[in-house]
Structure 1
Amino acid sequence: MRTTARRAAVLEPANVQANLHAAWPPHARDGLTRTEALLKRLRVLAGDNPTFTYMDARAWATLENCQLRADRYGTEKVWRMAAPNGRQLTFPLGTAAAEAFKSLVDEAGGLYEWPLLKLIDTRVGPGDVFIDVGAHVGYVSAMAAATGATVFAIEFQRELIPLIEQVATLNELDLLRALHVGASQSAGLSVAMRGHLSPGQKLETALSRKMLGDDPASVLNDYVPVMTLDQLFDSDQLAPTLVKIDVEGHEIGVLEGARGLIARGRTSFVVEFHPHLVAAYGRSADDLIALFPQGWRTSQLTDDGLVPLASMKDVVPDSRDPNPKLVFDPPLSG
């Protein structure tokens, strides 16, 4: 639709509607200032119009928000790393969670999650939607956003949300959005521990819920809204190209809440499988495989790329990472 409107705007410069549809909504920060100039020109053509007033207010509110975040999240304590496409990304330091994550990257020689990052770089780009379930500090989310894709970083640890927003701000990744929500097989409220910002933190299991209880007056408890991926991304425009899931044993529950996305056959899933943790949720490897209908392709992501799997028995253990990354791709069309 936007391409058609742009052609019409070139052929008919005085066509107000074509000009509006060609530029609205702006898809990048530099498009905001161009949109403002366009709105001023169109006002001359169309006269007073409440639509222009609304659009003008939205554009300026977004610019002000960019400046507000820059003031709030600016920091001199940072580290940098190049994404697979060569773009240099800046990550903040200064908090325990950020420092701890940086140590993971250092231990990996600067190549932490590199096979995953390369896969993302080849699978998504401008116009695609990437969902990062279990985003932690936003490392993978930022790498995905560097491709030009729209990224939704889903993280249930409240204190990590500002870190994700800081990463987005430092790199002007305006299409990286942090969602404070947990992904699961149904909607509701989940009890969570306060503090302990660990990459291994997870939504409650039956045991932890029994220990924590549901007492809203307990200062030990935090609560996080829980939704399904099908509820969150229920329109064609929001349908993701790729979903990465790293949720410390709750991956089957997340996928059960994505049955609609799986049925559409348009979304690929990269799942970090935690065989030693799924039992805490009463699940098994067979439950994971059973979620994908016949015709779906299953692979293991390795340093050498994707290795097709006929069954979970074909998974090759990696001494450096006991949690294999499994890729589920829809059947090939045609």
Structure 2
Amino acid sequence: MLDPRVRLERLGFRTLYRLADLTYALGIATPKRTVAGTYWSFEPTNPHGDDPGLAALSRLPADATLLDVGAHVGEHAIPLAAATDRRVVAFEPNGESADRLARNAARNGLDVGSDRGIDLRRAGLGDERGSLPFYRSTFSKCSAFDRDRATRWGARVAAIETVPVFRLDDLVEGVAAGDEAAGAVGSAAGATTDDAVVEDHTAAGDPVPPPDAIKVDVEGHELAVLRGAAATVRTHRPLLVVEVHDGTTGDDPSEDGGGDSPAAGDDRADALRSWLSERGYGVEERGDVWVCRG
């Protein structure tokens, strides 16, 4: 039997996501005030208004190039692109979230796919090229390449989509992926090699310009994304903003099927910290958000 706290938490999530479905269906956009400026969104809440990672990114020059990996519906991408000459390349494998990002961008007068504004790529990033099943959750923020993460807090898998996955080093203009990136094995292991997907230019798009910053929020696959960007990090030394998710994927890890243990999450964080340290990056840990400077 579920703990009353867990039941209440599940009810809160279910209510929140049903409300989001309603605001998008009715076209109700409201202003969201953030540390990067105010923008309009059809989302009912403003979870990243005072986000320390968003604050760090907002201090970049007005013509900077930023990569938003795991862009969701644009809570970072849109305020960072609005009223500036920044180019934001947004990677979002969840088709529903990508559609909502495009709609939110249009509400703010931002072009999607332009040299200035938001360049939306409907794909995932990892440390291998290919394709993977993506589990779209009824709680959209929980959608992930792992079924367990997509079913947290009583959510269900709404659909399973096969999405293309790329290494960032294969996309960034002028970067030749070295042995370090090519030989890395991470959570993208098991991806199938699918030339039709890898060569799909709708997903891959034009070459990605060298980034001044990379923000990563990918539900536990942060290290795989960075391993696939090793040459880019080494060559361009971008600011890295990483949202680090713990290892708990269920309501109670002690239950059967509850997911990773907290210790697994600690191991993942330690591996990420070591990877950054080996490349000369200092880490400012601000809760779940790590601001990393080389």
TM-score band (shorter)?
0.5 to 0.7
| Corresponding residue for residue 79 of structure 1 | 30
Q: Give the one of 257, 262, 274 matched to 1:290.
A: 274
| Paired residues for 1:1-334 under 5 Å | 76-84=27-35, 86=37, 88-92=38-42, 98=43, 102-103=44-45, 105=46, 112-126=49-63, 128-146=64-82, 147-174=84-111, 175-204=117-146, 221-235=160-174, 238-276=209-247, 284-292=268-276, 294=278, 296-302=280-286, 318=287, 324-330=288-294
Q: Measured at CA, do residues 258 and 196 of structure 1 come closer, stay the same or move farther in structure 2, by a change above 3 Å? A: same
Q: Partners in 2 of 1:74 and 1:194 — Cα distance?
A: 19
Q: Partners in 2 of 1:297 and 1:83 — Cα distance?
A: 27
Q: For 1:326, give the aligned amino acid.
A: W
Q: Partners in 2 of 1:153 and 1:142 — Cα distance?
A: 10
Q: Partners in 2 of 1:260 and 1:157 — Cα distance?
A: 26
Question: What SS does the corresponding residue of 2:226 show, helix, strand or coil?
Answer: helix
Structure 1 unaligned regions, length at least 5: 1-72, 93-97, 209-218, 303-317, 319-323
Question: What SS does the corresponding residue of 1:291 show, helix, strand or coil?
Answer: helix
Q: Partners in 1 of 2:118 and 2:26 — Cα distance?
A: 19
Q: Partners in 2 of 1:295 and 1:221 — Cα distance?
A: 36
Q: Displacement of 1:112 after TM fit?
A: 3.1
Q: Partners in 2 of 1:177 and 1:188 — Cα distance?
A: 21
Q: Partners in 2 of 1:232 and 1:75 — Cα distance?
A: 37
Q: Measured at CA, do residues 296 and 75 of structure 1 come closer, stay the same or move farther in structure 2, by a change above 3 Å? A: farther
Q: Measured at CA, do residues 76 and 223 of structure 1 come closer, stay the same or move farther in structure 2, by a change above 3 Å? A: closer
- Alignment size in residue pairs: 213
Structure 2 unaligned regions, length at least 5: 1-23, 112-116, 150-157, 176-207, 250-258
Q: Is the 8 A contact 2:30 2:40 kept in 1?
A: yes
Q: For 1:264, give the aligned amino acid.
A: T
Q: Partners in 2 of 1:85 and 1:182 — Cα distance?
A: 25
Q: Measured at CA, do residues 158 and 238 of structure 1 come closer, stay the same or move farther in structure 2, by a change above 3 Å? A: same
Q: Is the 8 A contact 1:190 1:204 kept in 2?
A: no
Q: Partners in 1 of 2:227 and 2:68 — Cα distance?
A: 16
RMSD: 3.1
Question: What SS does the corresponding residue of 1:263 show, helix, strand or coil?
Answer: helix
Q: Partners in 2 of 1:178 and 1:186 — Cα distance?
A: 20
Q: Is the 8 A contact 1:130 1:242 kept in 2?
A: yes
TM-score by length of 1: 0.56
Q: Measured at CA, do residues 220 and 145 of structure 1 come closer, stay the same or move farther in structure 2, by a change above 3 Å? A: closer
Deviation by residue 1:92-114 (Cα, 9 ceiling, x = unmatched) = 2xxxxx3xxx23x2xx6xx6343
Which has the larger Rg? 1
% identical aligned pairs:
25
Q: For 2:118, give the aligned amino acid.
A: L
Q: For 2:284, give the aligned amino acid.
A: Q
Structure showing the higher helix proportion among its residues: 1
Q: For 1:230, give the aligned amino acid.
A: D
Q: Partners in 1 of 2:159 and 2:102 — Cα distance?
A: 26
TM-score by length of 2: 0.63
Deviation by residue 1:230-257 (Cα, 9 ceiling, x = unmatched) = 1222337711111111111110111110
Q: Partners in 1 of 2:279 and 2:133 — Cα distance?
A: 37
Q: Partners in 1 of 2:81 and 2:26 — Cα distance?
A: 21
| Corresponding residue for residue 187 of structure 2 | none
Deviation by residue 1:123-177 (Cα, 9 ceiling, x = unmatched) = 2421x11111111111111011124310011111111111111122111222112
Q: Partners in 2 of 1:272 and 1:325 — Cα distance?
A: 5
